Amino acid sequence: MSTILQTVLIISIISAVLAIILTFADRKIADYGQVSLMINEEEPITIEGGENLLTSLRNQKIFIPSACGGKGSCGYCKVRVVEGGGPVLATELPHLSEEDKKTNVRLSCQIKVKQDIHIEIPEELFNVREYDAVVERITDVSPRVKRVRFKLPEGEHIDFKPGQYIQIKAPLYEGSEADEEVFRAYSIASSARDKGAVELFVGFTGGIATTYVHKHLKEGDIVNLNGPYGDFYYKDDDMGPMLMIATGTGMAPILSILYHMRDNDIKRQARFFFGSKTPEDLFILDELAELEDELYDFKFMPTLSRVDESMGWTGDTGRVNDSIMKYVPDGEGAKYTAYLCGADRMIDSAVEALTSKGMPEDQIYYDKF
């Protein structure tokens, strides 16, 4: 027994010494001091070196989209590095196209700022704002989806295009697997005219942010959010018939687009193919029925993939790509514009179905999550 205790004591002492050495090394070796950050040929900003570029920009209230919270898995936080970014890391390569590599586009979350750096970002990102919003209302719309309404501070507003998204900050909470606060992206479900608030649909996945929303968030809480982001949004210059295709919380941007059509009296044919598993997974059916009455020519067309006779379902069965094959006439896809939101696999299968019907890919807009 004494031998075991001695071994444990020795290992503990060695671990403590190593921890002290690593801490000292991090403070001394990784102390890059102050560096210069230039953005889009503007006057350089002096920042502290050592952080990743995504964090450094956020500290300057410049927000780059990052659906994964800076973990290098979403590929959203791209910037063009003119000078000073260091070598491209292996963690970036899966998210960089050949064109990205040629033009030195990088993932900002993977670049550690060690020296003066010059980058270029889209001008619209300078319009992204940060808000400390109050949770005004939380509603269970299905067993796994909550609808959350955030009220912005008095006198503040958000200008977004229907289809875009925001990021919310999930703070540390009891039982969280994170070691720091994280940001996660959610599409805006509310009307763009409702500038003093935003609504989201948050499905429970067991992740850090969805657990925070489903298990810890309460009405009256203050939540940090920023946005808007995204190049997936409704195109006002197209008035032909349209197809909307979504699954799960992909409902959110489509609903925002439908509100936009209602608010602006857009007279355009629209068909919404929505995929779920069972009848209890469908939600906001009353609102969608109202939109069918209010809009010029709109139909909500759900399809379910896991139903049996006991559920009493009389509508379509299968997946959304089956609805496309059933309802879009062969060879007539070119007359439609399509808006898709959902998981990768659904988007890929729906795009394949749409193009098989003759729809050009440049008439298909989508947001994968």
Q: What is the DSSP string of 336-360?
A: -EEEEEE-HHHHHHHHHHHHHTT--
347 token code pair: 């988007």
What pLDDT is stored for residue 138 in this prediction? 98
- Is residue 28 scored above 60 in pLDDT? no
What pLDDT is stored for residue 8 in this prediction? 47
Q: What is the CATH number of domain 128-229?
A: 2.40.30.10
286-299 average pLDDT score: 97
Q: What is the CA radius of gyration of the chain?
A: 24
Residues of the chain with CATH 2.40.30.10: 128-229
In sequence order, the β-bridge partners of residue 139 are 147
**pLDDT bracket for residue 27 (50, 70, 90):** very low
Name the more confident of 167 and 177: 167
251-278 average pLDDT score: 96
Name the more confident of 2 and 198: 198
**pLDDT bracket for residue 23 (50, 70, 90):** very low
**pLDDT bracket for residue 31 (50, 70, 90):** low
From 193, 210, 313, 311, select the one nearest 257 (Cα to Cα). Answer: 193
Mean pLDDT of the chain: 90
What pLDDT is stored for residue 348 in this prediction? 95
Architecture of the domain defined by 242-368: 3-Layer(aba) Sandwich (3.40)
How many Cβ atoms are within 10 Å of 126's Cβ, its own excluded?
Answer: 14
* Residue 184 dihedral angles phi and psi, to the nearest 5°: -135, 150
From 317, 329, 246, select the one nearest 288 (Cα to Cα). Answer: 246
What pLDDT is stored for residue 30 in this prediction? 57
Q: Please state, for a pLDDT cut of 90, what percent of the chain lies above it.
A: 72
Q: What is the CATH number of domain 34-125?
A: 3.10.20.30
The DSSP letter of residue 250 is: G
Residues of the chain with CATH 3.40.50.80: 242-368
The DSSP letter of residue 290 is: H
The answer to whether 52 and 89 are in contact (CB under 8 A) is: no
Which value, to the nearest 10 degrees, does the dihedral of the CA atoms of residues 192, 195, 201, 205 take? 120
- pLDDT (tens digit, 9 = 90+) per residue, 88-135? 999 999 999 999 999 999 999 999 999 999 999 988 888 899 999 999
From 337, 194, 188, 338, select the one nearest 253 (Cα to Cα). Answer: 188
- pLDDT (tens digit, 9 = 90+) per residue, 305-363? 998 888 989 999 999 999 999 999 999 999 999 999 999 999 999 999 999 999 999 99
